[in-house]
Structure 1
Amino acid sequence: MTQEEKFTLNTLQTFTGCDFEAYRNRGEAFRQRLSGAVLNALQLTDSWRTDCEMRGEWGGAYPVHLRLTRADAPGLAVELASPSPDSPLWCAVLTDARTRSRISLSVSYHFEPATLRSTLEKIAEYTRAGFTGAGELVAALRMGGHAA
């Protein structure tokens, strides 16, 4: 894939961990483009703040590593990590900096933006309702059938 080629959802869904790694190894601009394609596929509302790892500042283990946060839930973040050479899985984890807890939201062999978007919409709904601790938020998600 060249820098001018467009990422499609199908491309993101068919990339292996090694494909993601090879693309990341092309440099920061390519990695930023890869992270941007994932964010575009998620189609998040403006209530989400987004950040992506560019130079290994969060450990550098994943070619795409996003942090999604909300102003109404300080300390909470949803981290989304792509497959890598070490893992064929997409992982979404809810982290709470206050308690240092990490709770798995989803693990999948395929990038499923619609499913992730649905979970993120529920998180937004629940944080607006005052569920701002990771444990209570995940409990609410589970009771609503939105997390395993």
Structure 2
Amino acid sequence: MIQFEKFTFAELHAMSGSELEQYAERGEAFRCDLSRGVIHYLSYPDKWLCDMEHGCEFGAGAPVNIRLTLKARMSVTLCFTSSSDDVPYWQMYLPFDGGASVAWLYCSETFDPEHIFYTLQRIEGLVSAGYTTPERLAVALHKSGGAV
């Protein structure tokens, strides 16, 4: 039986981009353990699907690279990445215009699952209000101060 490393929230919260990078560089299994730890503490709403990067399918720009997709609108996918050596911030963004543009939803030096959960609920509310494409969501979020 494979034993996965379990991280406490305090460990994930305290890890710097360099520490996350060093851990992930130990191999794919270690990187997956790291991603599983983050997903465990995300506690995303049931209306969302969650997928983590295993190799380089999402671009591999950070040790943790997660996609959250709204089940009711599969075109609404948020990208969530950890800090790294190059970028010292945890980030979440909404790609739109076929991936040519992004609306930045979250940028923090630390992992903050409550803020992520709040952002996902806000997106759900906007979709319910009729903003059903990534482009319309980006505009609505920008106008309301929820995105840059």
Please, what TM-score do these two structures have when normalized by structure 1? 0.86
Deviation at 1:74, TM superposition (A): 2.9
Distance 1:42 1:36, change over 3 A: same
SS state at 1:140 partner: helix
Offset, 1:71: 2.4
The equivalent of 2:38 in structure 1 is 38
Letter in 1 for 2:20: F
Cα distance between partner residues in 2 of 1:96 and 1:34: 28
Counterpart mapping for 1:34-73 below 5 A: 34-73=34-73
User: Match of 1:93, as an amino acid?
Assistant: Y
Question: How large is the RMSD of aligned CA atoms in angstroms?
Answer: 2.1
How many residues are matched?
146
Q: Which amino acid counterpart does residue 106 of structure 1 have in structure 2?
A: Y
Q: 136-145 vs 97-106, which deviates more? A: 136-145
Runs of 4+ aligned residues of structure 1 deviating over 6 Å after TM superposition are none
Measure, in 1, the Cα distance between the counterparts of 2:98 and 2:5. 41
**C-alpha displacement of 1:61:** 1.3
In the TM superposition, what whole-angstrom CA distance separates every residue of 1:81-110 from its partner, at most 9, and x where no partner exists?
A: 101111111111011364633110111111
**SS of equivalent residue, structure 2 residue 26:** coil
Contact 1:75 1:96 in 2 (8 A): no
Consecutive unaligned residues in structure 2, runs of 5 or more: none
Mapping of 1:58-137 within 5 angstroms? Answer: 58-96=58-96, 98=98, 100-137=100-137
% identity of equivalent residues? 36
Residue segments in structure 1 that go unaligned for 5+ positions in a row: none
Q: How many Å separate the matches in 1 of 2:147 and 2:42?
A: 17
TM-score (norm 2): 0.86
Amino acid at match of 2:127: T
Matched to 2:125, the amino acid is E
